[in-house]
Amino acid sequence: MDKSMLGDLDGLPEEDKMRMAAMVDQLQIRDSLRMYNSLVERCFTDCVDTFRRKTLDKQEESCVRRCAEKFLKHSMRVGMRFAELNQGVATPD
Amino acid sequence: MDKSMLGDLDGLPEEDKMRMAAMVDQLQIRDSLRMYNSLVERCFTDCVDTFRRKTLDKQEESCVRRCAEKFLKHSMRVGMRFAELNQGVATPD
Amino acid sequence: MDKSMLGDLDGLPEEDKMRMAAMVDQLQIRDSLRMYNSLVERCFTDCVDTFRRKTLDKQEESCVRRCAEKFLKHSMRVGMRFAELNQGVATPD
Amino acid sequence: MAAKGGPSNFEKEQMFGMAEKEMEYRVDLFNRLTHACFNKCIEKRYKEAELNMGENSCIDRCVSKYWQVTNLVGQMLGNRPQM
Amino acid sequence: MAAKGGPSNFEKEQMFGMAEKEMEYRVDLFNRLTHACFNKCIEKRYKEAELNMGENSCIDRCVSKYWQVTNLVGQMLGNRPQM
Amino acid sequence: MAAKGGPSNFEKEQMFGMAEKEMEYRVDLFNRLTHACFNKCIEKRYKEAELNMGENSCIDRCVSKYWQVTNLVGQMLGNRPQM
């Protein structure tokens, strides 16, 4: 999430700016926590399929690590492209 | 969403009625935006499957149009049936 | 959801404790209602597949009952295991 | 503030909070029902933008059956004090 | 409270509420887009932690196409007063 | 209002907001875990309303493994300042 999405706050009194910033912070915290939960859910679902033991075996653990790593890189790349589109940067095909 | 779901507001003071109406408005805005996002997600998922270009081809575009059109008609019909059930209208099989 | 997750509230003035308790209550109500909705969605999706009539047939109805019953028992068991893990109870494999 | 016999501010907050949860519940129910019946009834190749007759009657029955499942599960939960 | 010519408290609440909904919308859009493109582009066996070249270009095109679908559907909804 | 040395109203709002997010996080975690393990462990034909022995032990192990994945991913995110 990008604070610039709030547009022009200059006209607001100091108190309202603080309140707006606090709101953005709260939404970012909520979003980070949800993203954490959805990342866990996805990597668990994709990597863990046997329930003969109650601990992750080596293969499952490394699958989860790669999955999470990959998702984070994916998410970062999507974020860059998304920001470009939001700013109206045009690129050839 | 239907404002009638709020039941009898007549007993409330003017100030509280305004606040209740503002709350309903806020929830409707949130719901409309979520519906927009979920419609985009669904039609993208169902219609776009090749990533050799960065622009939609004609076939994908018309699939998205039909998908969105169809979803909106579906949603409207569901809304009518849902309202009837909420009002306890009984109909034969 | 467990009220103990709020940690140590002893330091707070009475007014804030009340407000915190009200917040927990509100979240529990929201969570219960969402759980109800997701239970209905799951059992409907898993049990109802024919739409030649507008009423559930006997087989669908008993499938929904078993599905809901099973989900609630599942959810309770998960809750117990989850609480143990939250409290750091270690158990052998 | 609450000098008259009316509800206190705290009680009002509770009341508004409950009304909000109730509305959120109905919106959530409607959205899940809409998506569930779209999945059950609508042909995913989207050859046409119109709902055909088969889809229309499927939607009507689907909404009706979803509603019954809601009531059925509601009765079951009603018998359980822990919900 | 609102002795000066500025917005009333009620109007301020409305304004903050709208800004909040707008941000929630963007976060929701970003999250759905991220998951949709992960599903379309990423090989689920997770043999490596790195994105390969094919995945990278798929992601770029996927984001672009998702964005176009968002605009396309937005235009369609814009023509409908009931939304 | 905040004449004594206690936290200001603004700080209190922050504190309540954080507590709320923390609770929402736990509820969300619990719900996702519950659904993930239901999908992994429960036989979908619903022949019986009871959990059988295989399902029960699957649930216990599933919760345990999900918990480990939560911790594992948490460690990975902890090493990344951008989260």
What is the CATH number for D26?
1.10.287.810
In a domain, D15, yes or no: no
For D47, the token pair is 């050859």
Contacts of residue E23, defined as CB under 8 A and 6 or more positions apart, other chains included, come to: A1, A5, A6, A23, A24, A27
d(CA D44, nearest CA chain C) in Å: 16
User: Among the listed ranges A2-16, B36-50, F64-78, which one has the minimum average pLDDT value?
Assistant: A2-16
- The structure tokens listed for D34 are 């809409």
| Sequence-ordered list of residues with C-beta below 8 angstroms from that of F41, at least 6 positions apart, any chain | A51, C74, F55, F58, F59, F62
User: CB D59 to CB B81 under 8 A?
Assistant: yes
- pLDDT (tens digit per residue) in E37-63: 999 999 999 999 999 999 999 999 999
Residue D60 resides in a domain: yes
What distance in Å separates the CA atoms of residue F64 and residue F54, rounded to the nearest whole number? 16
pLDDT at B8: 56
Beta carbons within 10 angstroms of residue D30's beta carbon: 21
Most confident stretch, B24-28, B59-63, C82-86: B59-63
Q: Is D2 exposed, middle or buried (0-12, 13-18, 19+ CB in 10 A)?
A: exposed
Residue of E nearest to B64 (CA): E69
pLDDT at B1: 42
Q: Indicate the SS3 state at residue F45.
A: coil
Of E22, E32, E5, the closest CA to residue A7 belongs to E22
Whether A4 is covered by a domain: the verdict is no
F21·A30 Cβ contact <8 A: yes
- The ipTM is 0.88
Say yes or no to pLDDT of A5 above 50: no
Residue C73, chain F, CB below 8 Å: the answer is yes
* Contact call for residues A26 and F59 (beta carbons, < 8 A): no
pLDDT at F29 over 90: yes
Contact D34, C44 (CB under 8 A): no
3-state SS, one letter per residue, for C66-81: HHHHHHHHHHHHHHHH
Question: Percentage of chain F with pLDDT > 70?
Answer: 87
pLDDT-derived band at F6, boundaries 50, 70, 90:
low
The number of beta carbons lying within 10 Å of the beta carbon of residue A37 is 22
- Residue B27 near residue D27 (C-beta atoms within 8 A): yes
Q: Say if C93 falls within a structural domain.
A: no
Rounded distance between C-alpha atoms, residue C89 and residue A23, angstroms:
37
- Reported as a single tens digit per residue, the pLDDT across E11-23 is 888 888 999 999 9
Closest-CA residue to B48 (of A72, A92, E72): E72
From chain C, the residues in CB contact with F38 under 8 A are 42, 71, 74
Nearest residue of C to residue D12, measured between CA atoms: C22
The tokens 């499957």 sit on which residue?
A: B49
Mean pLDDT of all residues in chain F?
Answer: 88
Question: What is the rounded CA–CA span in Å between residue D73 and residue D66?
Answer: 11
Q: pLDDT of C30-69, one tens digit each?
A: 999 999 999 999 999 999 999 999 999 999 999 999 999 9
Angle at C36 between CA C33 and CA C40, to 5 degrees: 145
Q: Classify residue B81: in a domain, yes or no.
A: yes
Residue B90 and residue B82: Cα distance in Å, rounded?
12
Domain that holds residue D31: 20-41+50-83
Nearest to F76 among A37, A51, A68 (CB): A68
Domain at B28, CATH number: 1.10.287.810
Of A22-31, A56-65, C47-56, F33-42, least confident by mean pLDDT is A22-31
Q: Is residue B92, in this structure, part of any structural domain at all? A: no
Q: Residues of C with CB below 8 A from D74's CB?
A: 36
pLDDT digits (tens, 9 = 90+) for B54-88: 999 999 999 999 999 999 999 999 999 999 998 87
Q: Of all residues in chain D, what percent carry a pLDDT higher than 70?
A: 87
Q: What is the DSSP letter of A4?
A: G
- What angle is formed at CA C77 by the lines to CA F49 and CA C74, rounded to 5 degrees? 35
Question: Which residues, in sequence order, are CB contacts of C26 under 8 Å at separation 6+?
Answer: D17, D21
Chain B residue numbers touching E77 (CB-CB < 8 A)? 36, 68
User: Can you give the pLDDT at residue B91?
Assistant: 57
What would the pLDDT profile of A74-85 be if each residue is shown by its tens digit? 999 999 999 999
**D81 within a domain of the structure (yes/no):** yes
- CB of B62 within 8 Å of a chain E CB? The answer is no
User: Is D66 a domain residue?
Assistant: yes
Q: How many domains does chain F have?
A: 1
Whether C53 is covered by a domain: the verdict is yes
Q: What is the mean pLDDT of chain A?
A: 87
Nearest by Cα to C46 from F45, F33, D31, F31:
F45
In a domain, A36, yes or no: yes
pLDDT at E53: 96
> Residue B38's domain spans which residues?
12-86
pLDDT in tens, D5-34: 667 777 888 888 999 999 999 999 999 999
| pLDDT value at residue E71 | 96
- The answer to whether B14 touches E6, Cβ cutoff 8 Å, is no
Is position C91 within any domain? no
Q: Is the pLDDT of residue F1 over 80?
A: no
Number of domains in chain B: 1
Q: Is residue C22 part of a domain?
A: yes
pLDDT beyond 90 at A89: no
Spell out where F1-83 has E strands. none
Mutate which of B51, B54, B55 to disrupt the A interface (most A C-beta within 10 Å)? B54
Query: Does chain F reach chain D with at least 3 CB pairs under 8 Å?
Result: no
